[in-house]
Amino acid sequence: MLPVIASHRGTFITAISLSFVSLIFQVLVPNMLSSDIERTFERHVSSLHGDVISIVIVGVLAGVTGIVSRQYLYYTAYNVEADLRSLIYQHLTWLSFSFYDRVQSGQLISRANSDIRSVQMYSIFAPLIIVQCGIGVVAFGFMLSINWVLALISMVVMPILYVVGIKMRRVMFPISWITQSRLAEVATIVDENVNGVRVVKSFAQEEAEINRLADAAEGVAWAYIKDANIRAVWSPWVQNLPQLGLALVLLCGGWMVLHGDLAYPEILAFSLYLLMLQAPFMMLGQLVMMGQRAKASAGRIFEILDENPEITERPGAFDLTNVDGTIDFNHVDFTYDNGAEILKDFDAHIAPGETVALVGRTGSGKSTVARLMTRFYDVSGGAIAIDGHDIRDLTLTSLRENVGVVLDEPFLFSISIRDNIAYGRPDAPLEEIEAAAKAANADEFIVRLPEGYDTVVGERGYTLSGGQRQRIAIARTLLLNPPILILDDATSAIDVHVESGIYEALRGLLRQRTTIVIAHRVSTIALASRVLLLDEGRVVASGSHEDLLSRVPLYSEILAQTTPAEED
């Protein structure tokens, strides 16, 4: 955490320094009281008025510096929290799709919220307690100057307190980790139920999901109760052991006063210093508990930050420019992390400006080809080249700017339709946005909406139909005008009448770019000049639609099946 805190070292050092100054002022008070009592009652020198004014001034200075130090400390803590959230989100944007394949979104949400809050709380209180401990050393120095024997007697409980603190830390860490993990489970269930509410209601599984959440909540409650039990057992030791030291001081100090070895103003000052010394140790239990929770949370946070992206740019990667659109799949193999082998010796050549349809059964690797083209994943063997350049030698930004993909499950943000279409080009003028919408046959329904292009869609675009979402997704990609376009079954949710209108608008656009169409409908295949037939991850036939229909039984069999489009 030091690099994160160091970025705010100005305010952090100011906060700690002012806190230290505030406590120094507080340390002066017992000594001033002792001197005043000695002058007034033993030497019969009356300066009570001046003494009161001096103590008030010191108290005000302590209060003002304490207030300012707290403000700076909270400012630092909340900025550290914001920095951590930004670091996590920035790192998440760098991670590859394989990471998201195995990590639940609820886990990520929990780590970006409750875990960061635990770290932030510790970053506020730990410095204050550390300063308190530093002031305790100063107070102990004053105690030694008053009576070194009594000072050592007050410290006899410290070894016991140290052992108790170590024991407490060891038992707190595991339950702190379990607590944060179970909070993440609750967040995962809530996230799944919110995003999958239509499925839950469609299958009338509300009660089952409520029970599932209740079970997870009970798990969190168990962890909190276990945490509370540990606190109940160990906190009294940490809080009350210092009181034993105070009792010993009163016993021994009282005996010294009675025998004339110690003046009563000195025992008063000594007792006040001892109380001041006790404060940090009284908070030691809280520090240990918060520290172990923060340690568990920081571990969970850095599990993400220590994760390295699998898809990275090679040293010397260059931008893809002046694209002709030649695509070569050179004996490509691909296997997902779960061991599923999808592509085996996939070999194909696509000429510039050519529109090629990929046809095959579910699981034959069609959608995987689209994911490999944009380096969502890297090939396991072979290579993919654009204009003769291995795509692994290109910068990711330039590759994805030149290869536009319309996925079969379009995602819309909770912003206006205009902003959704202009997502890749936020500065695009309205005229170009409308032109892209017309090309996707979306303008017709957009203008009928209450606010037209300024209509804000609901979360994930669920206030629109599936076909409307797909048309907006097509328009979003067309606005970028990429030289290579991949339509991953992009019209699967669109009725045939609307689909024909989209294709009429697309035909002219497709002549200007290289296009790969992942197809399940004959109408979609009609857009292509050539069809690649996939089976078990490899190209088994290539030709026009009519050619394959007449000579390849497998092609006829696949077209005869009316299986809805699914992900490969």
pLDDT tens sequence across 140-162:
787 888 888 888 887 787 788 77
**pLDDT band, residue 125 (cuts 50/70/90):** confident
Q: Are residues 550 and 479 in the same domain?
A: yes
Q: Which CATH number do you get for residue 95? A: 1.20.1560.10
**pLDDT band, residue 562 (cuts 50/70/90):** very low
Q: Is 531 left (phi over 0), alpha (psi -120 to 50) or beta?
A: beta
| Residues 6+ positions from 566 with CB-CB distance below 8 Å | 362
Cα–Cα distance measured from residue 536 to residue 378, given in angstroms and rounded to the nearest whole number: 19
Where a domain ends, among 251, 272, 305?
A: 305
Mean pLDDT calculated for residue range 444-459: 85
Q: Model pTM?
A: 0.67
Q: Is the pLDDT at 54 greater than 90, yes or no?
A: no
The string of pLDDT tens digits covering residues 257-305 is 787 777 777 777 777 777 777 667 667 767 777 788 888 888 888 888 8
The string of pLDDT tens digits covering residues 200-209 is 776 777 888 8
| Residues 6+ positions from 438 with CB-CB distance below 8 Å | 505
Q: Are residues 476 and 440 in the same domain?
A: yes
Mean pLDDT calculated for residue range 348-373: 88
pLDDT mean across residues, the chain: 81
Residue 427 domain-assigned (yes or no): yes
Q: Are residues 117 and 21 in the same domain?
A: yes
Q: Are residues 121 and 77 in the same domain?
A: yes
Of 20 and 197, the structure prediction assigns the larger pLDDT to: 20
Q: Is the pLDDT at 47 greater than 70, yes or no?
A: no
Q: Tell which residue, 291, 292, 317, has the closest CA to residue 391.
A: 317
Residue 321 domain-assigned (yes or no): no
Q: Are residues 364 and 291 in the same domain?
A: no
- At 366, which amino acid appears? K
Residue 310 domain-assigned (yes or no): no
Q: Is the pLDDT at 514 greater than 60, yes or no?
A: yes
Residue 322 domain-assigned (yes or no): no
Cα–Cα distance measured from residue 243 to residue 229, given in angstroms and rounded to the nearest whole number: 22
- At 143, which amino acid appears? M
Q: Are residues 138 and 227 in the same domain?
A: yes
3-state SS string for 491-534: CCCCCHHHHHHHHHHHHHHHCCCEEEEECCCHHHHCCCCEEEEE
The string of pLDDT tens digits covering residues 458-467 is 766 667 877 7
The pLDDT of residue 271:
76
**pLDDT band, residue 311 (cuts 50/70/90):** confident
Where a domain ends, among 305, 338, 363?
A: 305
Q: Are residues 288 and 371 in the same domain?
A: no
Give me the number of domains the chain comprises.
Answer: 2
**pLDDT band, residue 365 (cuts 50/70/90):** confident
Q: Which CATH number do you get for residue 374? A: 3.40.50.300
> Tokens 């909340």 map to which residue?
78
**pLDDT band, residue 77 (cuts 50/70/90):** confident
> Tokens 């990609």 map to which residue?
477
Q: Are residues 215 and 358 in the same domain?
A: no
Q: Are residues 427 and 552 in the same domain?
A: yes
Q: Is the pLDDT at 55 greater than 50, yes or no?
A: yes
Q: Is the pLDDT at 482 greater than 80, yes or no?
A: yes
The pLDDT of residue 498:
64
Q: Tell which residue, 442, 461, 405, 415, has the closest CA to residue 423.
A: 415
Q: Are residues 344 and 247 in the same domain?
A: no
Query: Which stretch of DSSP H or E encloses residue 484?
Result: strand 484-488
Residue 311 domain-assigned (yes or no): no
Residue 189 domain-assigned (yes or no): yes
Residue 313 domain-assigned (yes or no): no
The proportion of the chain whose per-residue pLDDT surpasses 90, expressed as a percent, equals 11
Q: Are residues 69 and 99 in the same domain?
A: yes
Q: Are residues 388 and 471 in the same domain?
A: yes
Residue 315 domain-assigned (yes or no): no
> Tokens 């340690």 map to which residue?
295
Q: Is the pLDDT at 567 greater than 60, yes or no?
A: no
Query: Hey, is 308 helix, strand or coil?
Result: coil
Where a domain ends, among 235, 270, 305?
A: 305
> 18: domain range?
2-305
**pLDDT band, residue 382 (cuts 50/70/90):** very high
